[in-house]
Amino acid sequence: MRKISIGQAWTESLAFLGAEGRIVWAVALALIALPAALIESVAPSAGAAASPPIWLSLLNFVLTLVMLVGQLALTRLALRPGESAGGALALASRRIWPLFGAMLLVIAPAVVILSILLVALVGATPSPQALATNPASALVLFVTVVLFVWFGARVIMITPTAMNERGGPVVLLRRAFALSRGNLLRILAFLLLFGATVLVSLYVVTGIVAPAIGLLLGPVTSLSPAALVGGLLVGLVQMGVAVINGVMTARLYAQANATAGDSWGAA
């Protein structure tokens, strides 16, 4: 099978953004940056509470779904240049549920297994101190992180798969594994580089810029000027991450799908 090329995907992504940037950034601003900014602006109201109020949890859930639909729509636009934003959003609102199901199929068992292992190792209520002083629990967490990164690399193309092919959660997982076969090291390199860039960007915004905003605009409380400005900055960073991630994975999928045999029906 022909290997995917990260460099080619990057070149194609830049060309796509140059041609379709207006519609892409408009969708990303409305469905990713603004919801993320709202979450960050309202969240400080629960900062001192043991648990957030129910209304805040519901708001975060709804806004997260909106952001996921936006991410799916961006991926569709990158797969089918020239398609309308309305068409991409309509498809995204339908395909989010099989994708959500695929995520649950993996995340739910993983959380249960990890919880059982940690409870067996450090007791019924694992604390950071207990985890830090128990070598076995540290090993379990290390293995979990390694498996998480490996699995993320194997299913990196599940979003474009969901937006370009038919099928339910199991089909999506199986196709994503097939598309990444033979390209694991290249995908891991992309994930590590992309992840490092994201972490640095978030650190600059939350660790340097946000405190400076707090000094200039006052304390960060729910919907305060400092919270609004800081939330907007975080939202813009998340928008950039979503656009790059969505377009790059779409172009990687296009390369892999051209050499992975017949797609299982276009969506």
Task: Give the tens place of pLDDT for each residue, 24-64.
Answer: 999 999 999 999 999 888 875 444 445 677 888 899 899 99
pLDDT at 45: 47
pLDDT at 62: 93
- What does the alpha-carbon distance between residue 242 and residue 230 come to, in Å, rounded to a whole number? 18
pLDDT at 71: 95
Task: List the one residue out of 161, 160, 156 whose CA is nearest residue 195.
Answer: 156
Proportion of the chain above pLDDT 70, given as a percent:
86
State which residues of the chain have pLDDT below 70.
1-2, 44-51, 118, 120-134, 259-267
pLDDT at 260: 46
pLDDT at 261: 44
- Residue 198 in 3-state DSSP? helix
pTM (global) more than 0.85: no
pLDDT at 212: 83
